[in-house]
Structure 1
Amino acid sequence: MSTATTPKGQVPDVAAQITYAMRTMGVAPIPRNYELFYEAYIGSNPSLTRELAALGNRATQDELDALGQQYFGNHHQSRVIETAHSRIVTELDGLLRLLKQEQNSLESYNKLLGETYTRINSKSSTSADILRSAISILTEATGDTMAHGEQTVEKFSQKSQEMDQVRKELDEYKRIANTDSLTRIANRRAFDERLASIYDTSSNSPLTALVLADIDNFKKINDTYGHPVGDKILATVATVIRSNVRKDCFVARTGGEEFAIIIDGNTAEEVNQMCERVRNALETTPFKNSKTGINYGPITMSLGFCMSGEAEDPGELYAKSDIALYCAKNAGRNRTKYYEDGMKKDFTKSWLIYKR
């Protein structure tokens, strides 16, 4: 897939490169096509990247939609949200009608009470007739009103269940939309949201760490053994990371062989120990084909992290963690580095270029 060139030392404009690639392939600039090219560009799904590139310059909209269906299923954001919106509007309209009917019923009952009171005060009837009539009228009206109320409660319950189902479907859509299809952990989209939330409140704790991790020499693995093997290794690496951090830690795949961990409530020393636990676990994990006997390992990982108290915003936190990761790579790989003042890097990736 062709991309626009970027002058050395400058941060690439992702949107411009994606637009350029779409224009080069003659692809219509519509949201669902942009989503395909965006996911392919950031490398979150190598298979999608390869299949999209294989379409060449003659990709039809049907072929693009088929890819979208294959990799994103029926969970395209616009369609799901539009459908959910329509259903919610319908259910709310039904609830309003029920409330109106209940109001009318109560107004009728109130009117009937007033008429009964007038009859009781009437001097033209005997006391027995008055009471008999009043009791008969009120008994029937109260029974009707109670029955109507029970029906209303039942309908409200049904509507509530239907709206709860819509909510569950939207929650499921969000889970799928925020999950990396290959590794089954959070994807770049979910990472962007979680990273931004670190600085959402003034009560932000300085004991939040952003860890960026990168598999060492992964391109060589892909070139030597092929992408299918690389994909299996990525999935295993994700499992190793997830298994060696606390359950409440946020773990995401943010790019091709890049991962991120957000850890709350630990000191820098404790975060370093957690990173080392992940690194050692990965280094000792066997990567061997049981059928052919080919050994793909050892697989190692470099990690860099920074504490949120040492940055003013998500962009700075990302940049400093990335610098620490760069230093870990530059120092020989397969190690963890904590960001310190004085670390420098000629080029740092900006977190903001990935935000959509």
Structure 2
Amino acid sequence: MAQQSVPPTPTNFAVWFEYALGGSLALRKTIDILIAGRRKFDAATNHELYITYVAQAGADPFGDLPDQLSGLIETAQEFLNAAVTDNRSHIEALGEVSSEAAATGDPRAIIAKLVDELSKATARAATLEANFAATSEELDSIRDSLKAAEQRSNTDALTGLANRHSMDEFLRLAQIAAMERDEPLSVFLIDIDHFKKFNDDYGHQVGDQVLRLVAKVLQEGVREVDLAARYGGEELIAVLPGADLQACTAVAERIRRRIAEAKLTRRATGKEIGSITVSIGVSQFRLAESAEAMIERCDRGLYQAKRLGRNRTVTETELEPEAGAA
């Protein structure tokens, strides 16, 4: 902290203590990039580091294993212990046969004893194999269930887009990559115009249909490397790694026009419903800023678009000065 002229405040100390511990790979990478780029750790940068990596640090999503998986591991351990015990018993039995052979010298008795022991060993091995096969099937079932659960946890059920949690994680990694590679990163936020009117006039089912249509156009309008997500309510968001403000605005405008041209009809009657329009705000990532700060500029652009008449895109460069700002 002294080398980088960081004031020893409680929040700054919390950030650099976490950096020294190495518990957050994202924080370590971010600070290392800032140091390598000779970026000054001013009050704004220090605040963004604290808000992004310390104040909002959540619980580890990979905590305790599910009880079912833990029980399966215990069962497998029991099978292994049984196999070891059976193997010892088999060796001891063969040792007894060897001793009897040395004492009696009768080959028929020895052969009968060996056949009996081998038959028992084969039966035990078959039982153990069947148990392991059943356990393997159960493990496959658990793995499929966990995969499906992970998919559900990252997806918005109504629109099929990524959900807020998934978007937050994608954006965090995209910010780190943008700083490491010195590449742009942009975001645009969409809000459906007069969405409440669709719900009030036609019911929530039509409102949901409107939301799904806009989500479909958004998903089809971005690249595979981008992320389209439901941000909350009737707001959708797109994260575009590698895209600067101009490129991101072009994508947002193309999507806005496609939505305005789309036709929505009521499934029950086939009757066409009024046109759908959206307002969009666009911003580009600034070095070391928090995701919240970048999205806040999108939000301001979006609401400025609404004030100017809706059905338009406003970028951060077009923002009007905030009330009370110098």
The answer, yes or no, to whether TM exceeds 0.5 is: yes
Tell whether the 8 Å contact from 2:175 to 2:185 is kept in structure 1 after alignment: no
Inter-partner Cα distance in structure 1 for 2:124 and 2:153: 43
AA matched with 2:219: R
Aligned to 1:145: 121
AA matched with 1:155: N
Aligned to 1:29: none
Q: Are 2:86 and 1:105 equivalent residues in the alignment?
A: yes
Tell whether the 8 Å contact from 2:281 to 2:302 is kept in structure 1 after alignment: yes
**1:126-151 C-alpha deviation (Å, 9 max, x unpaired):** 5xx4x766665555444543443343
> How many residues in Structure 1 have an aligned counterpart in Structure 2?
260
SS of equivalent to 2:264: coil
Seen in structure 2, the aligned counterparts of structure 1 residues 342 and 325 have a Cα distance that, compared at 3 Å, is closer
Aligned to 1:159: 135
Q: Are 2:165 and 1:184 equivalent residues in the alignment?
A: no
Equivalent runs, 1:63-82 vs 2, <5 Å: none
Aligned to 2:310: 333
Inter-partner Cα distance in structure 1 for 2:265 and 2:70: 54
Inter-partner Cα distance in structure 1 for 2:92 and 2:175: 58
Aligned to 1:209: 186
Identity across aligned pairs (percent)? 28
Question: What stretches of structure 2 of length at least 5 have no aligned partner?
Answer: 1-62
Aligned to 2:213: 236
Tell whether the 8 Å contact from 1:323 to 1:344 is kept in structure 2 after alignment: no
1:282 Cα deviation (Å)?
0.6
Q: Are 2:231 and 1:250 equivalent residues in the alignment?
A: no
Inter-partner Cα distance in structure 1 for 2:180 and 2:98: 64
Q: Are 2:77 and 1:96 equivalent residues in the alignment?
A: yes
1:116 Cα deviation (Å)?
5.4
Inter-partner Cα distance in structure 2 for 1:142 and 1:263: 66
Tell whether the 8 Å contact from 1:240 to 1:281 is kept in structure 2 after alignment: yes
Seen in structure 2, the aligned counterparts of structure 1 residues 160 and 258 have a Cα distance that, compared at 3 Å, is same
TM-score, normalised to structure 2, is 0.62
Q: CA RMSD in A?
A: 3.9
TM-score, normalised to structure 1, is 0.58
Inter-partner Cα distance in structure 1 for 2:127 and 2:242: 51
Q: Are 2:274 and 1:296 equivalent residues in the alignment?
A: yes
**1:254-276 C-alpha deviation (Å, 9 max, x unpaired):** 22221112234445444333222
Inter-partner Cα distance in structure 2 for 1:155 and 1:251: 45
Seen in structure 2, the aligned counterparts of structure 1 residues 117 and 329 have a Cα distance that, compared at 3 Å, is farther
Aligned to 2:295: 318
AA matched with 2:139: M
